[in-house]
Amino acid sequence: MTHQACTLEPHDHTHCASNVLSHADHLIAEQGLRMTPVRRATLEILLSRQKAMGAYEVLEKLAEQGYGNQPPVAYRALEFLVDNGLAHKVRRLNAFAACTQPETAHRPVFLICRDCDAVAEASSEPVQSALALAAAHEGFLIERVNVEVLGLCPTCQARE
């Protein structure tokens, strides 16, 4: 299945979500893990919006679906999704976003709208290559990279 980028441009997000769920099911089965109902519901909740969501916001949505309202319910599901490359933590927002490229191992680059908090996962290849080159030049071993770019999405640009 080929990946079609999910952008900040207004579009029918249903197709993006469907692709991610399909890849998630395949990856989880391939790794011999279980996609429990609460984990799947958590991923669907994250995919329902193009914004990162805080753990308590996810918990509220899970509770509405009958999964309980205790914080560990959301935190365990989010941790599973992050650990298995199906979601990312967006540190600037202290929130989580579904991974839009779960079929490839990668380090995400987030484009975050400073006005509406919309989040898109951009192609990270050029950024990662530049970082690797700079690190190699300094003899530095990169262990973790978190790139978050703040700006304005097309919708908010049009409003200004």
**What does the domain layout of the chain look like in residue ranges?**
13-159
Q: Which residue has the higher pLDDT, 105 or 9?
A: 105
Q: In whole angstroms, what is the distance from residue 44 CA to residue 114 CA?
A: 24
Residues 9-37, mean pLDDT to the nearest whole number? 80
Size of the chain in residues: 160
pLDDT at 2: 33
pLDDT at 11 exceeding the cut of 60: no
Which one, of 68, 71, 105, lies nearest residue 88 by Cα? 105
The pTM of this model reads: 0.81
Q: Give pLDDT, residue 46.
A: 94
Looking at every residue in the chain, the average pLDDT score rounds to 86
pLDDT-derived band at 72 (thresholds 50, 70, 90) equals: very high
pLDDT in the model for residue 12: 57
Tally the C-alpha atoms within 13 A of residue 116's C-alpha that lie toward its C-beta: 16
How large is the average pLDDT for residues 129-135? 93
CA dist 77 to 94, 123, 124, 152, Å? 16, 26, 26, 30
Does the 13-159 domain belong in CATH 1.10.10.10? yes
